[in-house]
DNA sequence: TTGTAGGCGTTATCAA
DNA sequence: TTGATAACGCCTACAA
């Protein structure tokens, strides 16, 4: 009982459960039971405890609780870059879902750097996160790390990107399908030579978008011209460079595999005095609220970002709760939104029958 | 020494410092000294310990360390909404600065709801965050909470918004100045009737942008017409509604106090068949990489978001380190970026002399 | 129903 | 230089 003889409470550091117990003239057990609503505590003691808590302004130290209960009610989230406009909504979705379950989020940006990612993962393990949400950087998890993860049994949910050697629950958008629809749309309205600004081939969704492009070309009997294709890294600069090299080739249209690259691409077009959709058609990937307000209004494939976050968090929370079973994969449906950048208005002679595809004409919505 | 007799290591939960000590046939103190590079440990023991750590794949439990050292190396961040494109870069700045100092971030979105904010603040205190970065929701901190904060001595840095009753370090952008420059620019190029879509008056930067607007009108001897003014909440919908009500009044130009409201405003203009800058001039607030690539290219006031985040984190880290002194206020300079939405190209007859203002013609940069 | 005391995994004090 | 051992603040069998 050395503890009860501690400092005369106050002065930084806040009151502890012992202070409350002393104040209420009960044991720490009683206080604990009251706080956690566990076990039956008599009316009078209950009141005394609550009064003491209020009087001392007591807040339980969640650090100590986490240590004792072996759970932090915190989940670690690693995204490539929170400043990439794709991820904020994903994170917000995860945050909301987590919050609803009493969990909170620590956020890290890996910059797609496997080394950084590894550091953060180790951090999460050391901080005893209850679970991890991960948009994997290129490359596989180091065996060393995988061993720890498995040993510790910390659940991980992969977001947006699979990772070959990591068997874990995964939530994806169907980028293969999305890319296929994007390019199909271009083909359907009459474009013949369709270029690609693709994502990095060393991440799964980069490959998927690439494959969807090729599949669509095949489906419409269009040639694959390797010189009309460029690989980017999802950032503005790479889209810009791709624009500089691809635009002079004067193909009919382009599919650009994400928004940031589209921004760079458009900048290049602007500098070269090329206009969209008059000089080239364009379908982008990933929609934003402002795309409909500025010219050219981008035809794009909307990805359910918020839902991606919530779904991932839900899966993770299930695992944290102890659910067992083989890894689950959820694939969310993208949705083609047709505006003008594709050249649809210019070529509406080839009327598009909806064909049961996930097509949305923006003028129809809202 | 009961502890050493614990479970036969392994099977979830990972090894503890005791396991390492036993493995290396030393005391926990020795292990701890090696890990923290504190105190002198003999060569041979040092090696034995390192070997044991490697062999057992030992990672210190940061939770336990935090409890013992009374510091978590974690800072709590509350922003109104991480999905508002303004904040990701701020958070990224804070994250980078924190990371560099060995700190990490837990992120919460308050939705500008004081109640939610209070819950999160209490959470941060309970989780013993070393410091807090806060973009205050409207209203003042509850006295109850302020008492705790003060009592606990947890440093807080206010970002973007002041809070009357909370004396704390603060990092702002000079929104008064920014708004003044925005509106002055409109006036300078010949606009006479200038409307305002302002931010919420119950947050400090909303007021500042409002005041800058009025100051500029005065400076250019323009009338303040209250019917040309609308109060929004920084979200798209409010900008849209403002557009619907203000645009029919056919004033020359508008200053819209943030990007999201501009998006809504443009949507309204689009629906009404009004074009910018032909039918009305517009200056927005807050710049993004894609603003230069789409029409109308927005003239806007760039706010140093990333720097806002880093500066805030730096200030906070200083306080965490124990720096004392009166609350500091840092005000970051905004920068007017002139593109076409203001109508500058249309009216370039009134040539703009730079006048030493922070004006940037986009064609000059890059 | 309530209290006692040991455990969670570190750090830190104080002897040896 | 090392080693016991008491904090850190909470939870929770086990006792009473």
In chain B, where are the structural domains located? 2-60, 72-173+306-332, 175-304+335-351
Same fold, B72-173+306-332 and B175-304+335-351: yes
Tracing tokens 């008492």 back to the chain, one arrives at B147
Report chain B's C-alpha Rg in angstroms.
Answer: 27
CB of residue A56 closer than 7 A to nucleic acid strand C? Answer: no
Averaged pLDDT, A29-37: 94
**Strands A104-109 and B281-285, sheet pairing:** unpaired
Domain A175-304+335-351 classification at class level? alpha beta
Q: What is the pLDDT of residue A148?
A: 87
B1 contact A CB<8A: no
Q: What is d(CA B343, CA B354) in angstroms, rounded to the nearest whole number?
A: 17
Contact at 8 Å (CB) between A146 and A166?
yes
Q: What is the pLDDT of residue B174?
A: 98
Domain spanning B2-60, CATH architecture: Orthogonal Bundle (1.10)
Alpha helices by DSSP H, A220-258: 236-246
> Looking at residue A342, what DSSP letter applies?
T
CA dihedral A165, A208, A85, A281 (to 10 degrees): 170
Cβ atoms within 10 Å of A328's Cβ, excluding its own? 14
Q: What is d(CA A120, CA A211) in angstroms, rounded to the nearest whole number?
A: 31
Please provide the average confidence, as pLDDT, over all residues in chain A.
92
Fold of A72-173+306-332: Rossmann fold (3.40.50)
Q: What is d(CA B8, CA B11) in angstroms, rounded to the nearest whole number?
A: 9
Tens of pLDDT, residue by residue over A193-202, are 999 999 999 9
Q: What is the pLDDT of residue B148?
A: 86
Q: Which of A77, A74, A55 is nearest to A65 (CA)?
A: A74
CA dihedral B301, B306, B311, B312 (to 10 degrees): 100
Residue of A67, A99, A152 lying closest to B14 (CB–CB):
A152
Averaged pLDDT, A32-39: 91
CA dihedral A50, A55, A59, A64 (to 10 degrees): -80
Whether B6 shows a pLDDT value over 70: the answer reads: no
Tens of pLDDT, residue by residue over A124-159, are 999 999 999 999 999 999 998 998 888 889 999 999
Contact at 8 Å (CB) between B311 and A312?
no
Distances in Å between the alpha carbon of B334 and those of A269, B176, B287, B308, B358? 29, 10, 10, 11, 8
CB of residue A57 closer than 7 A to nucleic acid strand C? Answer: no
Burial of B343 per CB tally in 10 Å (0-12, 13-18, 19+): buried
Q: What is the pLDDT of residue B345?
A: 67
Q: Which A residues in the span 129-168 are in contact with B, Cβ-Cβ below 8 Å?
A: 144, 147-148, 151-153
Alpha helices by DSSP H, chain A: 17-24, 28-35, 43-56, 62-69, 87-100, 114-126, 143-152, 175-188, 204-219, 236-246, 259-271, 305-320
Which has the higher per-residue pLDDT, B13 or B316? B316
Name the closest residue on chain A to residue B265, using Cα atoms.
A293
Beta-carbon separation of B295 and A293 below 8 A: no
Q: What is the pLDDT of residue B352?
A: 47
Local structure of B282: helix, strand or coil: strand
């Amino acid at each position: 009982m050395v503890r009860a003889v501690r400092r005369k409470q106050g002065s930084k550091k806040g009151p502890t459960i012992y202070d409350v117990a002393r104040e209420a003239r009960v044991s720490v057990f009683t206080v604990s039971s009251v706080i956690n609503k566990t076990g039956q505590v008599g009316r009078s003691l209950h009141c005394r405890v609550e009064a003491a808590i209020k009087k001392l302004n007591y807040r339980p130290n969640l650090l100590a609780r986490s240590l004792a209960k072996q759970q932090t009610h915190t989940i670690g989230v690693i995204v490539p870059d929170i400043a990439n406009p794709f991820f904020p909504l994903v994170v917000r979705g995860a945050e909301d879902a987590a919050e609803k379950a009493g969990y909170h989020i620590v956020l890290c940006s890996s910059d797609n750097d496997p080394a950084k990612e590894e550091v953060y993962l180790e951090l999460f393990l050391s901080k005893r996160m209850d679970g991890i949400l991960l948009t994997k950087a290129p490359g596989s998890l180091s065996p060393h790390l995988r061993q720890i993860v498995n040993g510790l049994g910390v659940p991980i949910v992969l977001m947006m990107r699979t990772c070959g050697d990591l068997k874990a629950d995964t939530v994806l958008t169907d980028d293969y399908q999305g890319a296929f629809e994007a390019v199909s749309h271009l083909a359907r309205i009459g474009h013949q030579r369709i270029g690609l600004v693709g994502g990095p081939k060393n991440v799964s969704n980069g490959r998927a978008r690439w494959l969807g492009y090729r599949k669509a070309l095949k489906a419409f009997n269009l040639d694959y011209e390797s010189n009309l294709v460029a690989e980017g890294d999802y950032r503005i600069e790479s889209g810009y460079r791709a624009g500089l090299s691809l635009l002079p080739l004067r193909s009919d249209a382009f599919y650009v595999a994400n928004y940031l690259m589209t921004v760079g691409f458009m900048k290049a077009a602007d500098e070269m005095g090329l206009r969209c959709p008059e000089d080239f058609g364009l379908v982008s990937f990933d929609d934003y609220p402002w795309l409909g307000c500025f010219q050219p209004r981008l035809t794009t494939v909307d990805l359910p970002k918020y839902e991606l976050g919530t779904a991932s968090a839900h899966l993770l929370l299930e695992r944290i709760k102890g659910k067992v079973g083989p890894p689950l994969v959820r694939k969310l449906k993208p949705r083609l939104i047709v505006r003008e950048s594709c050249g649809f208005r210019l070529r509406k002679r080839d009327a598009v029958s909806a064909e049961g595809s996930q097509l949305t004409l923006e003028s129809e919505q809202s």
